[in-house]
Amino acid sequence: MVEARNGRPLLLLLAVGGAILLVPVLNRLVPEGSPFHLEDRLVPRFGKYLAYAVLAVALDLVWGRAGILSLGHGAFFALGGYAMGMYLMRQIGPRGVYAHPVLPDFMVFLNWQELPWYWYGFDRFPFALLMVVLVPGTLAFLFGWLAFRSRVSGVYLSIITQALTFALMLAFFRNDMGFGGNNGLTDFKDILGFPITSPDTRLALYLATGVLLLVALAIAVHLRRSPLGRLLVAIRDGEARARFLGHDTLRAKLFVWTLSAVLAGLAGALYVPQVGIINPSEFSPAASIEIAIWVAVGGRDTILGPVLGAFLVNGLKTWLTGAAPELWLFVLGGLFVAVTLVLPNGIVGLAAALRGRPKRPAAAEPAVGGAEVARG
């Protein structure tokens, strides 16, 4: 809110765009051997962080702005990822271990004779892209409609989003679901005809993710300036009152919820070709809770906060799971407790406070649960 009030969001978008370009510049323009050169193998890692940043921006749209704390956004991310993974599996064609002309390896191994109907069409990229948007979007719309219509909010909503992602995880673990079970989808060969592991393809995927992040941020900037953005704040701080002013709060929530799920799905679709695998662990409840921690660390209801949080927490995770893997979960938990107690507005809130513009706490409510305070 601080940034938007000062009318500087365009500058922020430019700054993020410039930061995104650092990776190609350090990778391609700085000669190998220079201490500032970025190795090819690190490009997909930053691409992965960018996809996480999009996911964090998506969650902040519903959590920071509208007060709907989803602890199941990993599900929408993973569904988008699976849709892309199915396209990449079909691109393998006869080059699999078992060299079946159509069936992916795991189906051959399970002695399946033909392709299940829901794998049809995924050999075509436009169809896969459509599914990347439609599957998470439709699920979110139905789920949101049922939950918001019954006026489920606060911790109760958070808990059922956890249940949603947990149920999907159990389903995707099953071999007979036809999504590769425990192992998920992997051994991808190429995307749109380009070899998926070549440095050029990886840089292109990185840049595509960067563009998606800028689009997500532009949506966030526009939303907070629009009347709808104010209505969402009003819903967050007193939904009953907003309804009493004549606003259809169900429709507003459903819109931003579905939009957020679609962004999460797109992020998942760009994540999968860069990490080379999608499996049911992406649906795990803990994975979804981590997303909320990124947003909390960076700062809720800010433009830059979710991006910073996603990069910092995941950078820390990459380093720590290498240096001292047994410590990571303790650090993560400690981080969440510390941010909740000491930095309710995250890093961005701290920065604003240090610049001498004290920000009041986001709301008189605990970070978890962050929901409707019914008034009046």
Partner 1 sequence: MAEISRKLPGGRVLEPHILLYLDGVTVSFDGFKALDSLSLVLEEGELRTIIGPNGAGKTTMMDVITGKTRPDAGTVLFRGGIDLLALDETAIARLGIGRKFQKPTVFDRLTVEENLELATQGGWGLGRLLLGRLEGEGRERVERTLETVGLAELRGEEAGRLSHGQRQWLEIGMLLVQEPRLVLLDEPVAGMSDAETAKTAELIRSLEGRHTLVVVEHDMHFVRELGAKVTVLHEGRVLAEGPVEAVQADPAVVEVYLGRS
DSSP H stretches of helix in 8-152: 9-24, 43-60, 73-92, 105-109, 125-149
Interface with partner 1 includes 255 (CB under 8 A)? yes
Please say which residue, 28 or 243, places its beta carbon nearer to partner 1. 243
Q: Please give the structure tokens belonging to residue 80.
A: 């988008």
Please say which residue, 252 or 297, places its beta carbon nearer to partner 1. 252
Please tell me the distance from the alpha carbon of residue 307 to that of residue 92, in angstroms, as a whole number: 34
DSSP letter, residue 362: S
Smallest gap from residue 361 Cβ to partner 1 (A): 10
CA dihedral 179, 182, 184, 187 (to 10 degrees): -130
Interface with partner 1 includes 238 (CB under 8 A)? yes
Which of 237, 275, 365, 369 contacts partner 1 by CB under 8 A?
237
* Chain Cα centroid distance, residue 48: 10
Please say which residue, 1 or 55, places its beta carbon nearer to partner 1. 1
Interface with partner 1 includes 246 (CB under 8 A)? yes
Which of 101, 227, 322, 358 contacts partner 1 by CB under 8 A?
227
Longest dimension (CA), the chain: 68
Which of 92, 241, 276, 353 contacts partner 1 by CB under 8 A?
241
Please tell me the distance from the alpha carbon of residue 329 to that of residue 7, in angstroms, as a whole number: 39
CA within 13 Å, CB half, 308: 19
- Tokens 């993020």 appear where? 16
CB of 168 closer than 8 Å to CB of 71: no
**Residue in 67, 272, 61, 310 with CA at minimum distance from that of residue 187:** 272
Stretch in the footprint of partner 1 (CB under 8 A) among 151-159, 174-182, 233-241, 336-344: 233-241
Interface with partner 1 includes 228 (CB under 8 A)? yes
CB of 211 closer than 8 Å to CB of 20: no
DSSP H stretches of helix in 276-304: 285-298
Which of 247, 276, 281, 350 contacts partner 1 by CB under 8 A?
247
Binding mask 341-360 for partner 1 (x = CB under 8 A): -------------------x
Q: Is the four-CA dihedral 94, 98, 103, 105 of positive or negative sign?
A: negative
Interface with partner 1 includes 58 (CB under 8 A)? no
Stretch in the footprint of partner 1 (CB under 8 A) among 26-34, 52-60, 75-83, 244-252: 244-252
Please say which residue, 2 or 107, places its beta carbon nearer to partner 1. 2
Stretch in the footprint of partner 1 (CB under 8 A) among 22-30, 153-161, 222-230, 324-332: 222-230
Which of 23, 59, 234, 292 contacts partner 1 by CB under 8 A?
234
Please tell me the distance from the alpha carbon of residue 26 to that of residue 4, in angstroms, as a whole number: 31
Which of 109, 230, 275, 343 contacts partner 1 by CB under 8 A?
230
Chain residues in the site for partner 1 (CB under 8 A): 1, 223, 226-228, 230-231, 233-234, 237-238, 241-242, 244-247, 251-252, 255, 360, 363, 375-376
